[in-house]
Amino acid sequence: MNGSPHYLDELLFAVFPYMAFFTFFLVTIQRYRMQSFSYSSLSSQFLENQQHFWGLVPFHYGILAVLTGHILGFLIPREVLLFNSVPLRLYFLEVSGLIFALLTLVGLCAAIARRLSESKIRRVTTTSDWVVFVLLVIQVVSGIWVALFHPWGSSWFAATATPYLWSLLKLNPEIQSIAAMPLAVKVHIVNAYALIGFFPFTRLVHILVVPNPYLWRKPQVVRWYRRAGA
Amino acid sequence: MNRFNVRLLVAAILPALGGAQEAAEFFRQNCVSCHTIGGGRLTGPDLKDVGQRKDPAWLTRFLMNPQGMINSGDAYALQLQQQARGVVMPTVQGMNKARAEALLGLIEAESKLEKSQFIGLQISDRPFTGEDIEQGRRMFRGTRKLLNGGPPCISCHTMKDLGGLGGGRLAPDLTRVFERLEGRKNLASWLFAPATPTMQPIFRKHPLDANEALLLVALFEDSAKRGGQDDSVALLNFFFLALGGAVIGLAACDAAWKRRFRAVRRPLVRGMELTR
């Protein structure tokens, strides 16, 4: 038993997050200023639409619900603990969280399978897309692993990870409780920083420019512009 | 004494007082879960008059790196480890030579007192009642809130016969913790100032009060008598509940978007051609 964080823990939980967020803000702003039209993911109209549904819908609804849970745990930890003080509510929250995590995994697998099986889609897939897929798979699988083998995350996240995250925000990292966490939890956290750092280099930037009118406007035919001979 | 001398005196005394206070606070946060000063042995030895058992230089070195001293084969360090049932004292975060010396000064001063402030949690030895056990269970499950706002045990720990989907599994099963920590006093002291890197930062700010520690000890004493440990059935139930929910979720998506475009572009282009 050793209470002192290892140097590697210092690097991963006290230095790496700042590097990731610095890269995130710097490159995101720079990319928006220099290549604002790249702030999107490609239209799927010319591509495959059958498998697309099973990648698109479960993944997006799953990840949005799971992310919302994490954000609530960060913003209102005391209220989350209060909600969980009735075991039935704790179990409801945890089962719901795992359901959405499994939906995310199903969607992610479907999206990867679609990219591997459709030549049209493979042609518009870049190296950064594959890196994002690898990072997302690690993130989702480690998250499910943590949910299953180290429950109840909604409570202990509020009690241990939230103070750590706030300490980062206050520029005074307190990593003692995180340094003692199981490996799967550490992988989940470090990989999240990797995703944040890599985010501005990928099509994930579409999260920052969500086209809300798509929810109510009628579908439109998209035309791809290509120069003659290109 | 002129004004200048008074200032010099204050300047000399204040840091010393601050240092003593800091050492006491450090001791409270990092040492009391395993040690008392004059209150008897817990996991670690009673530190009353420790300076008479070993010289300050050795004690300073040990405080700064207990594991290193054991690894070096130091006979007295090995004896201490044996007396602590194999538990190695952790290297406390923030420990350095100056702090170790300040702690030894504090221990020496406290040892001279008739009753040290670090005599340890004086827990009642009355027999526990069914109501004590029930209240302990409620605190474990979170249905009885902890006075200082700490999270309930169920967040990270499980134990046998908890019901529902059981407790958390981030930290050890506590069914037999009463046996592991060898009784009421050790366990209550541990609960009062837990020394694990995960629990310490939380319960430093939100400590249990003496009565809460007593009620949890009642629960753990009862669970140790019953024996066994939590099984994995609750975990399987948890997984299958979520899996079933996910399957229903997928079916719900399929049903909700029943009239979705099976192909987005082709019908749109066909529609445009027909309207030409």
In a domain, B122, yes or no: no
More confident position, B10 or B114: B114
The residues, any chain, with a CB within 8 Å of residue B40's CB and separated by 6 or more, are B46, B120, B185
B264 and A45 within 8 Å at the Cβ level: the answer is yes
Q: How many CB atoms lie within 10 A of CB A189?
A: 21
**Tokens in use for A149?**
């083998």
**Predicted pLDDT of residue B3:** 55
Residues in chain B closer than 8 A to A160 (CB atoms) = 198, 201-202
Q: How far apart are CA B66 and CA B71, in angstroms?
A: 9
Question: In residues, how long is chain B?
Answer: 276
Query: pTM value?
Result: 0.79
Give residue B90's domain range.
3-111
What would you report as the CA-atom Rg of chain B, rounded to the nearest whole angstrom? 28
**For range B78-88, the mean pLDDT:** 84
Nearest to A90 by CA among A103, A68, A73: A73
Overall number of domains in chain B: 3
Domain ranges of chain A: 7-32+54-207
Confidence of residue B50 (pLDDT cuts 50, 70, 90): very high
pLDDT at A187 exceeding the cut of 50: yes
CA distances (Å), origin A170, targets A163, A174, A180: 10, 10, 21
Question: What pLDDT sits at residue A136?
Answer: 97
Q: How far is CA A175 from CA A7, A139, B199, B207, in A?
A: 11, 20, 13, 20
Q: Mutate one of A51, A56, A94, A99 to test the B interface: name it (highest B CB count within 10 A).
A: A99
Residues of A in contact with B268 (CB under 8 A): 45, 219-221
pLDDT by residue (tens digit) across A33-55? 888 777 776 666 667 677 788 88
pLDDT at residue A9 tops 60? yes
How confident is the model over A20-38, as a mean pLDDT? Answer: 89
- If one compares B110 and A124, the residue with the highest pLDDT of the two is B110
Residue B29 covered by a domain? yes
For residue A23, CA distances in Å to A30, A39, B57 come to 10, 17, 48
Are B43 and B73 in a shared domain? yes
DSSP secondary structure string, B127-191?
PP-HHHHHHHHHHHHTSS--TT-PPPGGGT---TT--TT----SS---TTHHHHTTSHHHHHHHH
**Residue among B94, B159, B230 nearest A4 (CA):** B94
Asked whether the predicted pLDDT for residue A216 surpasses 70, the reply is yes
Contact A46 B265 (CB under 8 A): yes
Residues B95 and B189 in one domain: no
> Which two three-digit tokens encode residue A110?
């479907």
- B149 with B73, same domain: the answer is no
CB spacing of A174 vs B201 below 8 angstroms: yes
Q: What ipTM was reported for this prediction? A: 0.85
Please determine, for residue A222, whether its predicted confidence score (pLDDT) is greater than 90.
no
Token pair in block for residue B161: 């016969």
B247/B170 same-domain check: no
In a domain, B118, yes or no: no
pLDDT of residue B6: 55
| Residues on chain B touching A152 (C-beta within 8 angstroms) | 154-156, 167-168
What average pLDDT does this structure show over B221-248? 90
Residue at A76: amino acid letter:
I
Indicate the average pLDDT of chain B.
85
CATH class of A7-32+54-207: mainly alpha
Query: Do residues B209 and B238 both lie within one domain?
Result: no
**What does the pLDDT average to over B9-17?**
52
Q: Higher pLDDT residue, B85 or B54? A: B54
**Residue in B closest to A48 by C-alpha:** B263
Domain of B170, CATH number, reads 1.10.760.10
| Residue B145: inside a domain | yes
Q: What is the mean pLDDT of residues A62-68?
A: 96
Q: Are residues B11 and B75 in the same domain?
A: yes
> Nearest CA to CA, how far is B272 from chain A (Å)?
9
Across the interface, whether the CB atoms of A152 and B155 are under 8 A apart is answered: yes
Mean pLDDT of A52-64: 91
User: Is A33 exposed, middle or buried (CB count within 10 Å of its CB: 0-12, 13-18, 19+)?
Assistant: exposed
Identify all chain B residues contacting A90, using CB atoms and an 8 Å cutoff: 142, 154
Answer whether B250 sits within 8 Å of A50, measured CB to CB: no
Contact between chains at B93 and A150 (C-beta distance less than 8 A): no
- Which range has the top average pLDDT, A191-195, A203-207, B149-153? A191-195
Same structural domain for residues B179 and B209? Answer: yes
A/B interface, count of CB pairs below 8 Å = 164
Mean pLDDT for the stretch of residues A173-194: 94
CB atoms within 10 A of CB B214: 21
Q: What percent of chain A has pLDDT over 90?
A: 63
Residue A177 with chain B: CB contacts under 8 Å: 197-198, 200-202
Residue B12 has pLDDT above 70, yes or no: no
**Are B203 and B246 in a shared domain?**
no
The pLDDT score that the predictor gives to residue B7 is 57
Q: Answer yes or no: do B97 and B160 share one domain.
A: no
Structure confidence at residue B232 (pLDDT): 72
Q: What is the DSSP letter of A208?
A: G
**Of residues B262 and A3, which shows the higher confidence score?**
B262
How many whole angstroms separate alpha carbon B185 and alpha carbon B190? 9
C-alpha–C-alpha distance, residues A112 and A99, integer Å: 20
Measure B145 CA to nearest chain A CA, in Å. Answer: 8
> Please, are residues B225 and A31 in contact by the beta-carbon 8 Å criterion?
no
A3 has a pLDDT exceeding 50: no
Per-residue confidence (pLDDT) for residue A22, from 0 to 100 = 97
Taking the C-alpha atoms of residue A24 and residue A110, their distance in angstroms, rounded to an integer, is 28
Share of chain B above pLDDT 90, in %: 46
